[in-house]
Structure 1
């Protein structure tokens, strides 16, 4: 399988990350939150992490364009299972054009996610409710951006990005996904004060993180807990394939999140009307244009 690195995939990740901002009726939280809960539900039910990773990565890549139009929704709307999978495959090919062909094929062949978000373990539900601190620095006031990202969204993004980057670093896709999903277990109990808060904890920091992580690992099935505990050691450095895949995914998500807020703050009506063709070509385009001109709303 050929590989792709951050340079090739950052555009893909930017689109996938926007699922943190996409909501659909009847599903609490963002689609990223739902995927985070769904993945943990599948894992604690005994599903293989690699199978879960492939299914969730396929859903994430396709979801960048399809949003809530997933397999169950399309089948409920009257498509056959094969027709729904063909729609997802087109989205995977379109959004994932920069992915290696072999990885894209794995995603195309992956099953739909099977986890039930309502059956997610309690710690996962709390992480979805736990806001992230955003950008903080020692001795500086906190930079507040709204709405804040939650830890479920961040962990989901790092899991997906890490899995998609894993082949390029020689890491295992399933391990990278599971590590990303689990790397903030300590924040179940620990509100996020960011880098500034960590510095103020000083020598207490490592002990606090270790104790709180172990508390949450105890809630997992023993075999899964042992696997997660081992994978978490890869966070210590970027000297291993898994460590590199994880840290690349983590830093990309943190910086892309800031880029999102900067883009949102700079957004103009022209961006929507001209670049995104909000009023797109249609049989009534001339009438639309006349109305907007009369109302003084043309770009």
Structure 2
């Protein structure tokens, strides 16, 4: 696979997967708090504080996210509660995973698939306070110094953004020859400062001037202090790749971050440009079944759309 400076700067073959994954920031289910992405962010941190191996966490959360791309909340917990056997649960999860991952690098794809088959239970540890804080902290929207912000509702939150960048980073890591675990951990922790610091976007950061660096350092440290020393040191090492694109891991992270930021806005534009031709024709909203003919006549006679 070519490196980033031997041609393309990113693997376009993964575009459609990343677009589809982004919607997990907006998928919710009855009886569950927050979006799928928000809850997977919490699961990842719970596993890390529970002492799980970071590589196992990175693969587990990424595999679950990829399976959820089509299955949404038809996850292992629901399938078990609905009475499926362990083997049947694995079959369903892998079917969802296979439906969206043909372009994922083969070795990584195999490792992720195996996580869905094995589903080793990761011990759940205590959730640090920054997890809930990031889930409650909205992203700033589109900001530019000297110009009014553009707000698009509903906003994503920082937990959703961090989870998505982490999963994107793992999926992109083979292209950059990066260590996926380092990229995952760096992404999961890259907005630590926003657990306490409201997000005023690029505009607010520029208005803070020389105060920005010390404030970000202080608020980041507050989040780091919520972790036990061994995990804190692991996260600090991973975060060392964040400042630039000088490393393979830095490139994978920054590619994932930029893609997620733009796709978040693109989904608003996509929804605004949706047509009935797409909904009724391509997506078959009134789909095949024993009453489709009757449905079609009803809509025709009601002049809908």
TM-score range, shorter chain: over 0.9
Deviations 1:25-77 (A, max 9, x none): 11111011000011111111111111011111111111110000011111221
Determine the structure 2 residue equivalent to 1:282.
289
Q: Bigger shift: 72-81 or 106-115? A: 106-115
CA–CA distance in 2 between the matches of 1:270 and 1:116?
48
Determine the structure 1 residue equivalent to 2:216.
209
Q: 1:113 to 1:139 in 2, by over 3 A?
A: farther
CA–CA distance in 2 between the matches of 1:82 and 1:245?
34
Gaps of 5+ in 1: none
Within 5 A, what are the aligned runs for 1:9-20?
A: 9-20=14-25
CA RMSD, 1 decimal: 1.9
Alignment pair present for 1:255 and 2:270: no
How far did 1:286 drift? Answer: 0.5
Determine the structure 2 residue equivalent to 1:267.
274
Determine the structure 2 residue equivalent to 1:25.
30
How far did 1:215 drift? Answer: 1.3
SS at match of 1:62: helix
Aligned partner (choices 123, 126, 135) of residue 133 of structure 2: 126
Aligned partner (choices 284, 289, 304) of residue 297 of structure 1: 304
SS at match of 1:141: strand
Q: Bigger shift: 245-254 or 4-13? A: 4-13
Alignment pair present for 1:146 and 2:163: no
SS at match of 1:136: strand
Aligned partner (choices 175, 179, 183) of residue 172 of structure 1: 179
Determine the structure 2 residue equivalent to 1:48.
53
Determine the structure 1 residue equivalent to 2:193.
186
Contact 2:37–2:160 under 8 Å retained in 1: yes
Q: 1:196 to 1:76 in 2, by over 3 A?
A: same
How far did 1:2 drift? Answer: 9.2
Q: 1:147 to 1:28 in 2, by over 3 A?
A: same
Gaps of 5+ in 2: 5-9
How far did 1:267 drift? Answer: 2.1
Determine the structure 2 residue equivalent to 1:69.
74
Q: 1:16 to 1:3 in 2, by over 3 A?
A: farther
Aligned partner (choices 219, 243, 252) of residue 245 of structure 1: 252
SS at match of 2:150: coil
Contact 1:169–1:241 under 8 Å retained in 2: yes
Moved over 3 A (4+): 1-6, 111-119
Determine the structure 2 residue equivalent to 1:200.
207
Contact 1:42–1:52 under 8 Å retained in 2: yes
CA–CA distance in 1 between the matches of 2:239 and 2:250?
9
Contact 1:92–1:104 under 8 Å retained in 2: no
Q: 1:195 to 1:115 in 2, by over 3 A?
A: farther
How far did 1:91 drift? Answer: 1.5
TM-score, structure 1 length as denominator? 0.95
Deviations 1:77-98 (A, max 9, x none): 1211111111111111110111
How far did 1:180 drift? Answer: 0.6
